[in-house]
Amino acid sequence: MKKNSGTFLAIVIIFMLFFSGRAIAASAEEERTAVLVEGAKKEGKVVWYTTMATGEADALFRKFNEKYPFLVTEMYRAGNEKLLLRALGEAQAKKYVFDVAMPTGAESQILLKKGLFTKYLSPQRRFYPEESKDSEGYWTDLFMNLNVIGYNTKLVSPRDVPKTYEELLASRWKGKMALDTKAYEWFANVVKLMGEKKGLEYMKKLGEQNIQFRTGRSLNAQMVAAGEVSLAILCFNQRIEEMKEKGAPVNWIGIEPIVPELHPLSISAHAPHPNGARLFLDYALSKEGQTLLAGFHKITNRTDVELLIPSMKKGLKILPPDFSVVDDYERYAKLYRELLMRK
C-alpha cells in the first residue's frame, strides 16, 4: 500500500512540475511580449519588405495591426530580384528602411551574407522543424512553396503525365511547355542533384524543347489553365489547387525529390523599429498567423497547424534546402539563360 501511495505521489509531483513549468514559461513569454509592446509604442511603426502576394500579405499585416493598433504598418511588395536590389541599394547608401524582410531562399541568403540580418530567437521557433529555420536564429520559414509540374487535364492524358525529368524530353512536349524566366534556384538544385556534368547536359537538352518563358509561376499556371501550353515545368501546387477549386482543368505532380522554395522571415540588422519588428515576426510565426496563411492554401511548416489540403505536402519527398547554391548564383543564372532560354 505504501509503495502504491509513493508511486501515486511521484506521479502527482511530476504533473505539478510539468504544469508549473508551463505556467512559468507562459508567464515569462507574456512579460517578454509586454516589454516589446512598450518599446513598439515608442517606435510607432513597422516596415515589411516581402515577395508575398499582395492580398495575402495585406491580410496578415491587417490581422497583426488589429492586435497592435498603435503601430503604423507599411509594406513594400516586389519580386525577388527587385526586392534584393532595393535592400542592397539602401544598405550601400546607409539608408535603412525595412524592419522585417521576406525574400525567397537564395535572395534571403545573399542579404544574410551581406550582414543585413540580425539574430532573433523568437519563442515561436520551437514549433518549427530544423529544416525550416537556421540554427543561429537569423531566419525562420514563413511558408514553403513546392515546385511541381502543373498540367492541363484536357490536353494531357493521365498515362502521359511526366513523372521524371527525363520524360520532359519526349518529342510530344516540344513547344508545349512553359517555364519561369528566373527559376535559378530550382535550376541550381536540380543540376547539383543530378551531378554537374549530367545536370548541365540534361538542361541543354531541355532547352531544345522550345520552352515558352513567362515571368512568374502563377502566370505560367494561368497559361496551363487557359490551354496555351500543355504543362508548366514549374508551378506551385497551392496555386494549382486554388484553380482546381474554381473549376479549371488543371492538376499537378511532383518530380521527387521536390525542390522547395522557402520564404525566410528575418529582422534587419539596422531595423529602425526593432521592437515592432520582433512583434510582427512573433505574430507571423504564431499559430494564429500560420492558420491565417494556411487558409490561403499556403504550406506552413508549423507543427501544430493543419494544411487546408494535407496532400499538398503529406507523403511527398522534399529536397532539404541547399543554400550553398548562392555561392555560385550568378554562374547558375547565366547558365540558366544560356541553356534553357538559349540567350
Best CA proximity match to 80, nearest among 56, 102, 51, 57: 51
Cβ atoms of 335 and 203 closer than 8 Å: yes
Superfamily designation of domain 145-260+319-339: Periplasmic binding protein-like II (3.40.190.10)
Mean pLDDT (whole number) for 207-234:
97
* Dist CA 329 CA 215 (whole Å): 19
- pLDDT of 1 over the 90 cut: no
pLDDT value for 29 = 82
Q: How far is CA 177 from CA 108, 160, 220, 243, 249, in A?
A: 29, 14, 9, 18, 16
Q: How far is CA 108 from CA 117, 130, 225, in A?
A: 9, 17, 31
Choice among 24-28, 99-103, 192-196, 302-306 with the minimum mean pLDDT: 24-28
- pLDDT of 202 over the 60 cut: yes
Bridge-based pairing state of the strands 100-102 and 260-268: antiparallel
> If you search the block for the grid coordinates 543530378, which residue do you land on?
194
- Looking at the chain, the whole-number percentage of residues with pLDDT higher than 70 is 92
* Dist CA 265 CA 108 (whole Å): 8
Q: How confident is the prediction for the chain on average, in pLDDT?
A: 93
Mean pLDDT (whole number) for 197-213:
98
- pLDDT of 324 over the 70 cut: yes
Domain definitions of the chain by residue range: 1-42, 43-143+262-310, 145-260+319-339
Bridge-based pairing state of the strands 100-102 and 45-50: parallel
Best CA proximity match to 339, nearest among 157, 151, 202: 202
Cell of 334: 547565366
Q: Which helix (H) or strand (E) holds 65?
A: helix 54-67
* Dist CA 188 CA 340 (whole Å): 12
What's 43-143+262-310's CATH class?
alpha beta
Kindly tell me the burial class for residue 201, based on how many C-beta atoms sit within 10 Å of its own C-beta (0-12, 13-18, 19 or more). Answer: middle
Bridge-based pairing state of the strands 72-77 and 45-50: parallel
List, as one string, the DSSP characters of 25-54. HHHHHHHHHHHHHHHHHHH-EEEEEE-S-H
Burial track 135-167 (b if 16+ CB lie within 10 A, e otherwise): eebbbbbbbbbbbbbbbbeeebeeeeebeebee
Mean pLDDT (whole number) for 266-287:
98
Mean pLDDT (whole number) for 105-125:
95
Mean pLDDT (whole number) for 175-201:
96
pLDDT value for 19 = 46
Cell of 35: 516589454
Residues in contact with 31: Cβ distance below 8 Å, sequence separation at least 6, in sequence order: none
In one-letter notation, the amino acid at residue 314 is: K
How many Cα atoms sit within 13 Å of 247 on the Cβ side?
0
Mean pLDDT (whole number) for 47-57:
95
* Dist CA 123 CA 169 (whole Å): 47
- pLDDT of 27 over the 90 cut: no
Mean pLDDT (whole number) for 76-85:
94
Cell of 329: 548564383
Residue ranges with strand state E in 133-222:
140-152, 177-180, 212-214
Question: Does this chain's domain 43-143+262-310 share its CATH topology with 145-260+319-339?
Answer: yes
Cell of 242: 486554388
Cβ atoms of 326 and 111 closer than 8 Å: no
pLDDT-derived band at 7, boundaries 50, 70, 90: low
* Dist CA 126 CA 121 (whole Å): 9
pLDDT value for 243 = 97
Best CA proximity match to 100, nearest among 113, 118, 122: 118
Q: Would you give the end-to-end CA distance of the chain in angstroms?
A: 84
Mean pLDDT (whole number) for 214-232:
96
pLDDT value for 14 = 56
Model confidence pLDDT, tens digit, residues 122-177: 999 999 999 999 999 999 999 999 999 999 999 999 999 999 999 999 999 999 99
Model confidence pLDDT, tens digit, residues 28-43: 788 999 999 999 999 9
